Structure 1
């Protein structure tokens, strides 16, 4: 990978962003990487309409990572209170996972949370069955708060509850 460039997503990016997220989280293509949910969930991860709403929301930003002209990752940062931000949808193109891009996206998200929202803490949720992913975030300073949240499906699926992780920024 050459030099990665980060920038905020716009509505014009949805056509490239949506398939990247689906490739990384769902289906057979996701299994090329190690952070997928393809063995746990079988529906779409998001929709183009949902992404449009996130991009239009001034309390959120989706940072895109480009390697040259190629979109290789993204991460969402949202205001979650006066001094707190929420990190979500950290996505790395499955074929370049384990390249260090995830760490760079995480660092960019933390920097953005401080600069854009004045955050002093970052929180995220991870499906509790994803022990290897929770450990990865733990090595980057995120610790479980002891709080869990239900996975947003109807009917509820307790086997997919989220654990809440947090880090001081």
Structure 2
């Protein structure tokens, strides 16, 4: 992990440098440098669009936290207020070359703190592709539990993918 690290709310100015980090973390050959990628499951298309990131920033029910190293963005996490003191944790990513150094754990903790402070959240949920057992185990080690609920993956694929819903009381 970089010596100098800041985690804060993202700004519009962060997005052009953050967007490629997200893409590298989830898709394509560069993603295979880390262990949390979707590159072997989803081979086409981008993970997100710059316009989607801008919409997150514009939405009062969402927060995008960015992790900044000495040379710019190296990761992020999104928090969405779902109402009834429930928040959703998503878009967690760390640059593939920096994974397994503790930054993901710090981003999850920052997201949980943000959810409590911004939305009064008492319960956080997230979804993980159900075949990603090592990633599910990572979140279980951070206090999340598999709720038993399954959701369809956001992109229709053949064969289809499904998401496990993980939850944690904050």
Task: Tell me whether the two structures share a fold, i.e. TM-score over 0.5.
Answer: yes
Q: Secondary structure at the match of 1:80?
A: strand
**Residue 150 of structure 1 corresponds to which residue in structure 2?**
152
**Residue 37 of structure 1 corresponds to which residue in structure 2?**
38
**Residue 14 of structure 2 corresponds to which residue in structure 1?**
13
Which aligned segments of 4 or more residues in structure 1 are displaced greater than 6 angstroms?
Answer: none
- Pairs within 5 Å for 1:61-80: 61-80=63-82
**Residue 167 of structure 1 corresponds to which residue in structure 2?**
168
Number of aligned residue pairs: 168
- Pairs within 5 Å for 1:4-153: 4-42=5-43, 43-153=45-155
Residue 109 of structure 1: how far off its partner (Å): 0.4
> Residue 151 of structure 1 contacts residue 160 of structure 1 at CA under 8 Å; is this kept in 2?
yes
Residue 13 of structure 1: how far off its partner (Å): 1.6
Q: Deviations over 1:65-110 (max 9, x none)?
A: 1122421110000101121110001010100001000000010000
* C-alpha distance in 2 between matches for 1:161 and 1:57: 27
Residue 153 of structure 1: how far off its partner (Å): 2.0
TM-score of the two chains, using structure 1 as the length reference: 0.95
RMSD: 1.2
> Residue 79 of structure 2 contacts residue 115 of structure 2 at CA under 8 Å; is this kept in 1?
yes
Q: Secondary structure at the match of 1:148?
A: strand
Residue 158 of structure 1: how far off its partner (Å): 6.0
Q: Structure 1: give runs of 5+ residues left out of the alignment.
A: none
Q: Kindly tell me: are residues 27 and 57 of structure 1, through their superposed partners in 2, closer, same or farther at Cα, counting changes over 3 Å?
A: same
